[in-house]
Protein backbone atom coordinates (compact mmCIF):
# COMPACT_ATOMS: atom_id res chain seq x y z
CA UNK A 1 0.00 0.00 0.00
CA UNK A 2 2.91 2.36 0.61
CA UNK A 3 3.83 2.23 -3.08
CA UNK A 4 0.43 3.64 -4.07
CA UNK A 5 1.38 7.05 -2.79
CA UNK A 6 4.66 7.26 -4.71
CA UNK A 7 4.17 9.28 -7.87
CA UNK A 8 6.96 7.60 -9.79
CA UNK A 9 5.30 4.20 -9.35
CA UNK A 10 2.07 5.46 -10.93
CA UNK A 11 3.57 7.05 -14.02
CA UNK A 12 3.30 5.33 -17.36
CA UNK A 13 6.74 4.30 -18.49
CA UNK A 14 7.58 4.43 -22.17
CA UNK A 15 7.82 1.00 -23.72
CA UNK A 16 9.08 -0.35 -26.94
CA UNK A 17 5.70 0.18 -28.63
CA UNK A 18 5.12 -3.51 -29.18
CA UNK A 19 2.26 -5.12 -27.33
CA UNK A 20 1.46 -8.76 -26.91
CA UNK A 21 -1.47 -9.20 -29.30
CA UNK A 22 -2.66 -12.34 -27.52
CA UNK A 23 -2.98 -10.46 -24.21
CA UNK A 24 -4.76 -7.57 -25.89
CA UNK A 25 -7.33 -9.94 -27.38
CA UNK A 26 -7.80 -11.64 -24.00
CA UNK A 27 -8.43 -8.31 -22.27
CA UNK A 28 -10.84 -7.16 -24.98
CA UNK A 29 -12.76 -10.41 -24.57
CA UNK A 30 -12.86 -10.00 -20.79
CA UNK A 31 -14.08 -6.41 -20.79
CA UNK A 32 -16.82 -7.24 -23.28
CA UNK A 33 -18.25 -9.62 -20.66
CA UNK A 34 -20.61 -7.62 -18.42
CA UNK A 35 -20.34 -10.07 -15.52
CA UNK A 36 -16.55 -9.79 -15.50
CA UNK A 37 -16.76 -6.01 -15.72
CA UNK A 38 -19.21 -5.82 -12.79
CA UNK A 39 -16.96 -8.02 -10.65
CA UNK A 40 -13.87 -5.98 -11.55
CA UNK A 41 -15.60 -2.69 -10.72
CA UNK A 42 -16.86 -4.10 -7.41
CA UNK A 43 -13.38 -5.30 -6.47
CA UNK A 44 -11.83 -1.94 -7.31
CA UNK A 45 -14.52 -0.12 -5.32
CA UNK A 46 -14.03 -2.44 -2.34
CA UNK A 47 -10.26 -2.05 -2.39
CA UNK A 48 -10.52 1.71 -2.75
CA UNK A 49 -13.04 1.99 0.09
CA UNK A 50 -10.81 -0.13 2.32
CA UNK A 51 -7.76 1.96 1.46
CA UNK A 52 -9.56 5.27 2.04
CA UNK A 53 -11.00 4.23 5.41
CA UNK A 54 -7.62 3.11 6.76
Higher pLDDT, 8 or 29: 29
Residue 16 dihedral angles phi and psi, to the nearest 5°: -85, 0
Q: What angle do CA 30, 5, 18 make, to 5 degrees?
A: 45
User: pLDDT tens-digit profile of 11-49?
Assistant: 666 666 667 888 889 989 998 999 999 999 999 999 999
pTM of the model: 0.53
Determine contact, residues 11/17, Cβ cutoff 8 Å: no
**One-character DSSP codes across the chain:** -GGGG-HHHHSPPP--S---HHHHHHHHHHHT-HHHHHHHHHHHHHHHHHHHH-
Residue 4's pLDDT is what? Answer: 58
d(Cα 51, Cα 30) in Å, to the nearest integer?
26
The reported pLDDT for the residue numbered 20 is: 83
Amino acid sequence: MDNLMKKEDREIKPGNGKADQKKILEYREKISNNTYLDQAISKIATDLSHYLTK
